[in-house]
């Protein structure tokens, strides 16, 4: 009973705090929050422009590029048109109609005089090339399928994204706590 | 540095298929930016503390009527930090089928084979490095019709 009473007291204190914040402070907090979100978005868009890629940072989702990359590794991509696609490069591409990007290595390229290029990919850890993964009837990938080329990477950090995807409760918990923290934080 | 051994083409429906047998002799440890360094200078330039592995690949590059530039990976290998950095492979067959997009291998006099590698760090940039030394291989003018590969 004492524990329950203590808990009730604590939650009342908490509510008091919130009530004490007058309307102006609340609006200020909301604006602050808005600024943080906008800055983050601007940085992301800036990265998209600088790298030329629609998704400059991706998380490795499968083990098909082991032992180089593992699930949860973070990759930094560029997709500049001036950089031609060459064998040996690690490309992140999307198959038409599918959302999930794939990270594999370029195995063959055939490029025409005018720059049109068609290429084949394969995961380092796979026994066969990716033809089986492509769309029905599709034998090659083209520039338009490419999200970017992997230029750098950091291990492990992307695990958080995978956790949030696989365990939605975890994602909601994180978002809820963040929201709470921002609204209640006095600065 | 590599050497090479001869080859022949075989028709497969529409596209040329080339067969290349090769030897690879490479001393990766002492190659830096494509230039060979002398032994008494620094060693272990390639495999420093931040290098997890090297992804080596032998690629054939050539031009055909259909396509201005073709590159085909014939063979690849993962060399982990700690593996013997000296390669001495003889009489290797290509790991992957050397199909052309069309019939550009027959009579093609200039196929360049190069050994390159992707440096995979523990964290950081992923550069592609081309080894020094490459070999030019010509394909014959005729097809081989009977093949046991």
> Which among A53, A73, A130, A145 is annotated as catalytic?
A130
Do A94 and A112 meet the contact criterion of CB atoms below 8 Å apart?
A: no
Q: Where are the beta strands (DSSP E) in chain B?
A: 2-12, 15-27, 31-32, 35-36, 51-62, 69-80, 86-93, 98-99, 111-121, 124-125, 128-137
CA–CA distance, A130 with B11 (Å, rounded to integer): 23
Q: Considering only the beta carbons, identify the residue of B68, B118, B128 that sits closest to A111.
A: B68
Q: So what CATH class is A55-154?
A: mainly beta
Q: Considering only the beta carbons, identify the residue of A68, A107, A153 that sits closest to B123.
A: A153
The pTM score is: 0.76
Q: Does B125 touch chain A (CB under 8 A)?
A: yes
CA–CA distance, A2 with A9 (Å, rounded to integer): 10
> Which sequence spans correspond to the domains of chain A?
1-50, 55-154, 159-183
Angle at B71 between CA A49 and CA A70, to 5 degrees: 55
pLDDT tens for each residue of B35-76: 333 333 333 456 777 888 888 888 889 888 888 899 999 888
Flag if A68 and B120 touch (Cβ within 8 Å). Answer: yes
| pLDDT for B32 beyond 60 | no
**H-helix or E-strand spanning residue A123:** none
3-state secondary structure of A5: helix
Tens place of pLDDT for every residue, chain A, 187 residues? 666 666 666 666 666 666 666 778 778 888 888 898 899 999 999 989 988 888 888 899 888 998 889 988 999 999 888 888 999 999 999 998 888 889 999 999 999 988 899 999 999 998 888 888 888 888 899 999 999 999 998 988 888 888 887 888 888 888 888 777 766 665 5
């Amino acid at each position: 009973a004492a524990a329950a009473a203590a808990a009730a007291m604590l939650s009342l204190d908490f509510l008091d705090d919130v009530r004490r914040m007058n309307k102006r402070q609340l609006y200020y907090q909301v604006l602050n929050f808005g600024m943080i979100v906008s800055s983050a978005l601007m940085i992301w868009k800036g990265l998209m422009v600088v790298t030329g890629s629609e998704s400059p940072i991706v998380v490795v989702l499968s083990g098909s590029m082991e032992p180089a990359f593992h699930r949860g590794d973070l990759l930094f991509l560029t997709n500049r048109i001036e950089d031609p696609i060459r064998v040996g490069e690690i490309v992140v591409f999307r198959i038409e109609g599918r959302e999930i990007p794939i990270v594999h290595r370029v195995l063959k390229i055939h490029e025409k005089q005018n720059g049109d290029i068609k290429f084949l990919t394969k995961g380092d850890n796979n026994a066969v090339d990716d033809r089986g993964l492509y769309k029905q009837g599709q034998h090659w990938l083209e520039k338009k399928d490419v999200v970017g080329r992997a230029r750098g990477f950091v291990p492990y950090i992307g695990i958080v994204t995978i956790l949030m995807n696989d365990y939605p409760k975890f994602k909601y918990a994180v978002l809820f706590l963040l929201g709470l923290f921002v609204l209640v934080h006095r600065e | 540095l590599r050497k090479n051994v001869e080859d022949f083409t075989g028709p497969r429906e529409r596209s040329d298929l080339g067969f290349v047998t090769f030897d690879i002799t490479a001393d990766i440890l002492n190659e830096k930016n494509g230039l060979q360094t002398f032994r008494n200078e620094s060693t272990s330039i390639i495999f420093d503390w931040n290098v997890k592995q090297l992804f080596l690949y032998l690629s054939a590059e050539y031009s055909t009527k259909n396509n201005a530039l073709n590159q085909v990976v014939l063979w690849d290998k993962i060399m982990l930090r700690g593996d013997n950095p000296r390669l001495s492979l003889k009489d290797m067959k290509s790991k992957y089928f050397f199909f052309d997009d069309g019939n550009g291998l027959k009579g093609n006099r200039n196929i360049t084979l190069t050994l390159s590698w992707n440096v995979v760090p523990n964290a950081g940039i992923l550069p592609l490095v081309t080894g020094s030394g490459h070999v030019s291989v010509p394909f014959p003018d005729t097809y081989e019709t009977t093949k046991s590969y």
